[in-house]
A and B are shown apart, each in its own frame.
Chain A
Amino acid sequence: SYILTQPPSVSVAPRQTARIACGGLNIGSKSVHWYQQKPGQAPVLVVFADNDRPSGIPERFSGSNSGNTATLTISRVEAGDEADYYCHVWDSSGHVFGTGTTVTVL
């Protein structure tokens, strides 16, 4: 089965940039989506199809995808961005989620 690997945690100071990697074999050939999940809440889509944003999601959230790594970038990080983030792709075997990354705002 297809595996997506993320770093367990990323720490970033306010107003700095957070980058969350999502590694998978030839992930650049797939469409990658990202979700934000805050404690006690359902996941919320923040980026879809590699680098598109749903309405209501700030421009500070962006994505890229090439080779074996997709990346979610959060610019000008705010305290409210503190959450778990998951990458997601469709593989021939079904939906696959990354292992998840906890973003901590220092």
Chain B
Amino acid sequence: EVLLVQSGAVVKKRGESLRISCQGSGYTFTNYWISWVRQMPGKGLEWMGSIDPGDSYTKYSPSSQGHVTISADKSISTAYLHWSSLRASDTAIYYCARPFSASLKNWLEPWGQGTPVTVSP
């Protein structure tokens, strides 16, 4: 079974750094991109960026570029989303997801369970 398991809920203060993780299992991790999707409270889904774990090539949305860093450690089949300085507006649930096939452009399935991040003032 293909699974993506994310790290747990986090509460941080504005200005602090944070790294959340997404570990893949049940498939060859380096063969599939991992995408990160944000869902702010009561809002819709927003793609942030994606990484090819095979070579760590990344692609970011314009709104995320420069504010977050996506990385991966293929030795432990884990992708990361990192902030060096959190803002209150980063409060959201963050999902990782994998495309159905090796192409980044495909539909996303499966999804991780989500990591709630709360940033206090």
A17 CB → nearest B CB, Å: 24
B50 and A94 form a contact (CB under 8 A)? yes
Instruction: Report which of A37, A54, A86, A90 forms a contact with B105, defined as CB distance below 8 A.
Output: A90
Contacts of B45 in A (CB 8 A): 35, 37, 43, 86, 88, 97, 100
- B-side binding surface: helix, strand, loop or mixed? strand
Interface presence of B62 (CB below 8 A): yes
Instruction: Report which of A42, A49, A84, A94 forms a contact with B59, defined as CB distance below 8 A.
Output: A94
Residue from B37, B44, B113 having most chain A Cβ neighbours under 10 A: B44
Contacts of A48 in B (CB 8 A): 100, 107, 109
Counted as pairs of residues, one from A and one from B, with CB atoms less than 8 Å apart, the total is 57
Interface string of B24-65 (1 = CB under 8 A from A): 000000000001010000001111011000000001011000
Interface presence of A104 (CB below 8 A): no
Interface presence of B2 (CB below 8 A): no
Contacts of A33 in B (CB 8 A): 107-108
A42 and B112 form a contact (CB under 8 A)? yes
B21 CB → nearest A CB, Å: 16
With the chains together, A99 CA to B37 CA distance in Å?
14
B62 and A45 form a contact (CB under 8 A)? no
Chain A, Cβ-Cβ closest to B104 = A90
Contacts of A90 in B (CB 8 A): 104-106
Chain B 58-110 residues near chain A, CB threshold 8 A: 59, 61-62, 95, 97, 100, 104-109
Q: A90-B104, A93-B61, A95-B50 are in contact. List 14 more A-B contacts (CB 8 A).
A: A1-B62, A37-B45, A42-B113, A43-B97, A45-B108, A48-B100, A84-B44, A86-B44, A86-B45, A94-B59, A96-B47, A97-B44, A97-B45, A100-B45
Q: Which residues of A contact B (CB under 8 A)?
A: 1, 31, 33, 35, 37, 42-45, 48-49, 54, 84, 86, 88, 90, 93-100
